[in-house]
Every structure is written in structure tokens, then in C-alpha cells.
């Protein structure tokens, strides 16, 4: 069944130079599915609106063509579907669903197909059948097709058959417009200087900008204080460095070493045994998350002079693994408890 995010429409997508090409392409595809650009490949960093545009395409096609069978699927759940079909002997059914019964395929985050050979194989055939019968395919990814690691060449090349558009981080004016429009939706008229202040503060991506705005609106409505620049700063400063004061990199290294029965020097060294690499990555992850002012280079320094990219990759790896790895989740929780870090429940 179609499980598009109900909130994501073209009408509430704010355009600016950073995303207008992607937006225009998405509009064109929504107006003439299968006949403008196929596949449409939306590329951009996390939090910049890929899923939003993908859903908007789905909603638009659905409302102009209520009978269209639109499948929205994250690559991860698609991969799970493949595994299920294989395990339960339901491949025929699975293939029929996609190859015969789907008019529009919206596939989110295809970078997650990396290394999933069976899933790629199925997608390849689905792609061919849909493409040949002019049925629309839209893909999103945080990497360009030729940078997708561990994806078959034949699939990668098909991803480039249509149109590739990228979404860049929004400029300040666009961020201001986004803040104002989101605030207005919540019934708050945010004046220009406040919107500008907020947009200047949170430059990373739209999701974080939204998160900051939500907190500000919640604070303001609960305390009934008038929003001022100073008040916004108070709120932002509470949320931006969500770190525990006084926690040091050394303290984390010691706790992690103890927990995994290693030596601190193992964590700082460069042995590549998995039983050491994982704890090392966990330690880096915790440093980044909980030590205020621990930049990637600063962390690298204290892990035996490793460079910032190494740390960044380690943190990314753990972040990603945490999405599905239960035992890792509980290890991190244990460690956070041991370090007296207040538990945040992640939804
Ligand atoms: P991605 O899929 O690229 O990680 P999302 O589509 O989930 O990003 O966007 C993150 C959040 O930011 C969503 O709530 C989305 O509605 C919002 N957003 C992103 N870009 C825009 C935009 N140009 N206008 C309005 N909201 C946006
Ligand atoms: Mg997304």
C-alpha cells in the first residue's frame, strides 16, 4: 500500500536556487509520469528534501490518477521484501507485484542497496520491465550513481538513463522562507529578523532547522514568553550542544576499554582486528556525541593521531549500524549509563 508521508506536498516545498532544478524535474515527472524523465534520480545530502519531493510526486500522480498503482518503498524495506519472498517461496507473487501491477515506483535511499546482490538483481529486472513499458521510476540517493559502492554496474548505468538532479543545502534566503512557512503553518507569524536569526544559526540541513523551530515554538507556547532573539538563543544553546559537561575523551576511552575488556592503547592504536575495531569506533562515536567541543580532528588526535576522515567514517558506521543492530544499541546504552549520561529516548 501507498505509505507516503501525508505532509509532504509540492505546495509546502519551498524553492530556491539550491533545489529548484530538482523541484522542476519532480513537477514535470508528476505531471507526465513515464513520459518526461525516466528514471528521475534525486540526489542530495540527508535532510535536504529528497523524501519530501518523492512523496510530493506520489501524491500528485495519485490525485490526478486515482487508479494508478503507486508503490513508495524505502530501499531497506524493499530489500526486506525480497528476503521475505525468497524465504517464503513467494518470489512469483513479489515479481508480479512489481513487474506487472505497479504503475509508478518511488524508491527512497537507494544507496542502502549497497552490497545487497539479490535485491539488486530483482530491482534490475523490475527496472527493465517498467522502463520498457514507460512506467515511471523515481529514485533518491545520497550518492551519485557512479559513486554508489557495491552496486552492480548494469544497475548503476540504468540509474543514469533518465535525468539526474541534485539538491544542495539551501541558501540563507531559502532557509528564512522555510522557517517562516513552517511557523505560519503552526499559526505563528515569525517576524523577519527572528526567522533570519534562526536560519543563520542552523545552516546544516532543513531537518535540523525544522527541529530547532519546533523546540522554539514549544518553548514559546509553554512559557508564554515573547519570542526575542535572546530567547531564541537561550533555547538554541540548550539544544545545539546536547552534550554532557565535563565528560572527556579519556574518560570515554577508559570506559569503553573496560567494557570490552581491552586496553586503552588498543583503542588508540591501529590494529584492524574486528574485536578491536568495533570498540574503537564505538568510543569515537561516544566522544563525538557526548564530549562538548570534540571536533573530528580533536578526537582523531587522541586516538593515536588518526585523521578526521577516519573518525567521521567511524561515527557514520556506528550511526548506521545502530539503526538495526540491537546488541550494539544495548552496548551503547550500557556505556552511556556507566558514563552517567542521561538517556535520551530515540524515536
Ligand atoms: P531527505 O529525504 O533528503 O533526507 P527530507 O525530505 O526528509 O530529506 O526533508 C527533511 C525535512 O525537511 C522534511 O520535514 C521536509 O519537509 C523538510 N524540507 C526539506 N526541504 C524543504 C523545502 N525546500 N521546503 C520545505 N520543507 C523542506
Ligand atoms: Mg529521506
Ligand nearest to C-alpha 110: 2
Which of helix, strand or coil describes residue 247? Answer: coil
Helices and strands (H, E) in the chain, number of each type: 16, 5
In this prediction, residues 17-46 reach a mean pLDDT of 97
- C-alpha span between 39 and 156 (Å, rounded): 12
Q: What spacing in Å lies between the alpha carbon of 47 and ligand 2's midpoint?
A: 7
Calpha distance 231→228 (Å, rounded): 5
What size, in residues, is the chain?
Answer: 347
Residue 342: per-residue pLDDT: 67
Choice from 11, 27, 206, 209 to test ligand 1 binding pocket (greatest atom count within 8 A of CB): 206
∠ CA 184-190-196, rounded to 5°: 120
Closest approach atom of ligand 1 to CA 19? 23
CB 242 within 8 A of CB 236: no
Report whether pLDDT(173) > 70. Answer: yes
Whether residue 60 has pLDDT greater than 50: yes
User: Could you check whether the bond before residue 172 is cis, i.e. omega within 30 degrees of 0?
Assistant: no
pLDDT, tens digit (0-9, with 9 covering 90-100), for 287-342:
998 887 788 999 999 999 999 999 999 999 999 999 899 999 999 988 988 887 76
By DSSP bridging, strand 136-141 and strand 163-167 are unpaired
Greater pLDDT, 26 or 211: 26
Instruction: Give per-residue pLDDT as tens, 238-281.
Output: 644 444 567 889 999 999 999 999 999 999 999 999 999 999 99
Q: Is the CB of 210 under 6 A from ligand 1?
A: yes
Q: Is 273 helix (H, G, I), strand (E, B) or coil?
A: coil
Mean per-residue pLDDT of the chain: 91
pTM for the complete prediction? 0.71
Sorted by sequence, the CB contacts under 8 Å of residue 26 that are 6+ apart come out as: 10, 40, 42, 53, 54, 56, 57, 138
Helix/strand/coil for 33: coil
DSSP-derived 3-state class of residue 45: coil
C-alpha 345 – ligand 2 centre gap (Å): 21
Atom index in ligand 1 nearest the CA of residue 108 equals 2
pLDDT tens figures, 141-169? 999 999 999 999 999 999 999 999 999 99
Distance from residue 53's CA to the centre of ligand 1 (Å): 8
Residues with Cβ within 8 Å of 104's Cβ and at least 6 positions away in sequence, in order, are: 33, 34, 57, 58, 61, 68, 69, 70, 71, 135, 136, 137, 138
Amino acid at each position: 500500500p501507498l505509505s507516503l508521508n501525508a505532509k509532504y506536498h509540492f505546495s509546502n516545498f519551498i524553492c530556491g536556487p539550491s533545489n529548484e532544478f530538482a523541484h522542476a524535474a519532480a513537477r514535470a515527472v508528476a505531471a507526465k509520469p513515464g513520459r518526461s524523465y525516466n528514471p528521475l534520480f534525486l540526489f542530495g545530502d540527508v535532510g535536504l528534501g529528497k523524501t519530501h519531493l518523492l512523496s510530493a510526486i506520489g501524491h500528485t500522480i495519485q490525485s490526478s490518477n486515482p487508479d494508478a498503482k503507486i508503490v513508495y518503498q524505502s530501499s531497506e524495506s524493499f530489500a526486506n521484501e525480497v528476503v521475505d519472498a525468497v524465504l517464503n517461496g513467494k518470489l512469483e507473487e513479489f515479481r508480479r507485484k512489481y513487474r506487472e501491477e505497479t504503475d509508478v515506483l518511488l524508491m527512497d535511499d537507494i544507496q542502502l542497496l549497497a552490497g545487497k546482490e539479490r535485491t539488486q538483481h530483482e530491482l534490475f529486472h523490475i527496472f527493465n520491465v517498467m522502463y520498457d513499458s514507460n512506467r515511471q521510476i523515481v529514485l533518491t540517493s545520497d550518492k551519485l550513481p557512479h559513486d554508489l559502492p557495491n552496486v552492480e554496474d548494469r544497475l548503476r548505468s540504468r540509474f543514469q538513463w533518465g535525468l539526474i538532479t541534485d539538491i544542495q543545502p539551501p541558501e540563507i534566503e531559502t532557509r528564512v522562507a522555510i522557517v517562516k512557512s513552517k511557523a505560519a503553518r503552526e499559526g505563528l507569524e515569525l517576524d523577519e529578523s527572528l526567522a533570519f536569526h534562526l536560519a543563520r544559526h542552523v545552516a546544516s540541513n532543513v531537518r535540523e532547522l525544522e527541529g530547532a523551530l519546533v523546540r522554539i515554538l514549544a518553548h514559546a507556547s509553554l512559557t508564554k514568553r515573547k519570542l526575542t532573539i535572546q530567547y531564541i538563543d537561550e533555547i538554541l544553546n540548550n539544544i545545539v550542544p546536547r552534550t554532557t559537561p565535563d565528560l572527556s575523551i579519556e574518560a570515554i576511552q577508559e570506559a569503553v576499554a573496560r567494557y570490552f575488556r581491552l586496553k586503552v592503547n588498543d583503542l588508540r592504536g591501529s590494529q584492524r582486528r574486528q574485536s578491536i575495531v568495533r570498540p574503537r569506533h564505538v568510543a569515537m562515536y561516544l566522544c563525538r556525541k557526548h564530549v562538548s567541543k570534540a571536533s573530528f580532528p580533536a578526537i582523531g588526535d587522541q586516538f593515536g593521531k588518526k585523521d578526521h576522515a577516519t573518525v567521521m567514517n567511524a561515527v557514520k558506521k556506528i550511526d548506521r549500524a545502530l539503526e538495526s543492530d540491537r546488541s550494539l544499541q544495548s552496548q551503547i546504552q550500557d556505556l552511556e549509563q556507566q558514563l552517567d549520561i542521561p538517556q535520551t529516548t530515540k524515536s
